[in-house]
Amino acid sequence: MEGHPQIVLITGPMFSEKTAELIRKCKRHQVAGVRVKIFKPEIDTRVFDKASTEVRVESRCGAHEDAIMIKRPIEILSYADSIDVAGIDEAQLWGDEYADELFEVVWSLFKRSKTVYITALDTDYNAKPFKIALILMPIPEVKILKLTAVCFDCRRRDATRSFRIIKSDQRIVVGDSNAYIALCYDCFVRRTA
Ligand SMILES: [Zn+2]
């Protein structure tokens, strides 16, 4: 039976509208009067108000929702008693070193009958998997929603990969279309050849 509680991993490359899907899913609960909060890693500075931890998650298609910015996944648990649904946006931004902690948080919420929607890139700009995606995908109770973008090069095929167009060896560089494009497999191979 579909419904509450569940864990849904919304994944795919950049520009696949993962955040829009997260917001849509959270709104469904909100209009029914369910207590929902969305969390995001503090490192994501795209929408950043230094004065408070209250920020917004925003999608490129224009959807936005209030969010709470947190430094470490474990902080989400301090909100657990006041929510029924947790949205977690851009989970890969905490880095692989926090992936186990994040999983413990997600699992603990699920065991307390909370629904968790979590967005994360499946792979980085080198097509290397992010650990949180690797941990969540094989868990039988986790529903996986894999989204695609449209390829920025051929503009025909679905894009499955994120490609960095600025020079940096750092694994996590927060950016938008100034720093990344989405590519289909063929165009990714052509660019990385
Ligand atoms: Zn292409």
Q: Which of these CATH numbers, 3.40.50.300, 1.10.4080.10, 3.40.50.261, 3.30.420.310, describes 7-148?
A: 3.40.50.300
So what's the pLDDT on residue 28? 95
The rounded distance, in Å, linking the Cα atoms of 131 and 134 is 5
Residues with catalytic annotation?
90
Torsion of CA 23, 88, 56, 78, to 10 degrees: 130
Q: Determine the distance separating the centroid of ligand 1 and the alpha carbon of 186, expressed in angstroms.
A: 6
So what's the pLDDT on residue 47? 53
6: nearest Cα among 130, 127, 120, 113: 113
Element spanning 134, H or E: helix 131-136
Query: Phi-psi bin for 10: left (phi > 0), alpha (psi -120 to 50), beta?
Result: beta
So what's the pLDDT on residue 69? 93
The rounded distance, in Å, linking the Cα atoms of 14 and 183 is 9
Sequential pLDDT tens for the chain (193 residues): 567 899 999 999 999 999 999 999 999 999 999 999 999 999 755 554 555 667 788 888 888 888 999 999 999 999 999 999 999 999 999 999 999 999 999 999 999 999 999 999 999 999 999 999 999 999 999 999 999 999 999 999 999 999 999 998 888 888 888 899 999 999 999 999 8
Q: Determine the distance separating the centroid of ligand 1 and the alpha carbon of 22, expressed in angstroms.
A: 26
So what's the pLDDT on residue 54? 72
So what's the pLDDT on residue 176? 84
Q: Determine the distance separating the centroid of ligand 1 and the alpha carbon of 179, expressed in angstroms.
A: 18
So what's the pLDDT on residue 2? 66
Q: Determine the distance separating the centroid of ligand 1 and the alpha carbon of 164, expressed in angstroms.
A: 15
